[in-house]
Amino acid sequence: MRFVLEKITELNGLYVHELRVRLSAEKQMLDLIARLIESVSDENLKSALKVHRTETENHITRLDSLLSRSTADGNPIKSKAASFFKDEVESAIMDTASNSVRDAALIGVARRMQQYEVTSYDEIGSWAKTLKLDADLEILNQILRDEESLAQKLMDVSRHFSVEATS
């Protein structure tokens, strides 16, 4: 017999659900960022990722505090997207030699990951706005700015990054 879960019927429920997924994503991202830091060789890239590791620790604390205000269950709900990016990172490491080609592959994964992060916080922020959760919106916008900042840094690194092409 199939166990039927109760469906989400209101935006507030969807908002809390997504906060819980965000919490799971950030916790997984913390491991993923550590893996990226140890795997890349470009110093600019490494330092941008180190800044974001500290920011991510802070995001986890903030998401926990947002969830603790709600009466609903605040435990993380596993983010499948973050698991997908973890797999992408491991594949990129496995498929490349440890040089600028690996950096190029990992920059690509990290940029795709940041598009996902930026879009997620932009969307959940718009829900907080609709729900008139002004204090929440303020916090979510701060996180969004950190995510956008890394996305921009990765784009800059990518533009200036040189990897020798051979044919």
Least distance from C-beta 120 to Fe ion, angstroms?
8
Closest CA to 140 of 127, 152, 153: 127
Near Fe ion by CB under 5 A, which window of 33-41, 86-94, 115-123, 158-166? 115-123
Contacts of 65 (CB under 8 A, 6+ apart): 139
C-beta closer to Fe ion: residue 101 or 151: 151
C-beta closer to Fe ion: residue 37 or 101: 37
Closest CA to 27 of 1, 61, 71, 65: 61
Return the residue of 114, 117, 120, 133 that touches Fe ion, per CB under 5 A: 117
Token reading at 39: 């795997």
C-beta closer to Fe ion: residue 39 or 56: 56
Which amino acid is present at 96?
Answer: T
Least distance from C-beta 1 to Fe ion, angstroms?
39
Q: In whole angstroms, give the CA distance from residue 20 to residue 132.
A: 19
Least distance from C-beta 138 to Fe ion, angstroms?
17
Near Fe ion by CB under 5 A, which window of 13-21, 63-71, 114-122, 123-131? 114-122
Length of the chain: 167
The size of the interface with Fe ion (CB under 5 A), counted in residues, is: 1
DSSP track, 85-118: HHHHHHHHHHHS-TTHHHHHHHHHHHHHHHHHHH
C-beta closer to Fe ion: residue 69 or 145: 145
CB 63 within 8 A of CB 128: no
Least distance from C-beta 29 to Fe ion, angstroms?
5
C-beta closer to Fe ion: residue 54 or 98: 54
Q: In whole angstroms, give the CA distance from residue 135 to residue 82.
A: 26
Where does this chain bind Fe ion (CB under 5 A)? Answer: 117
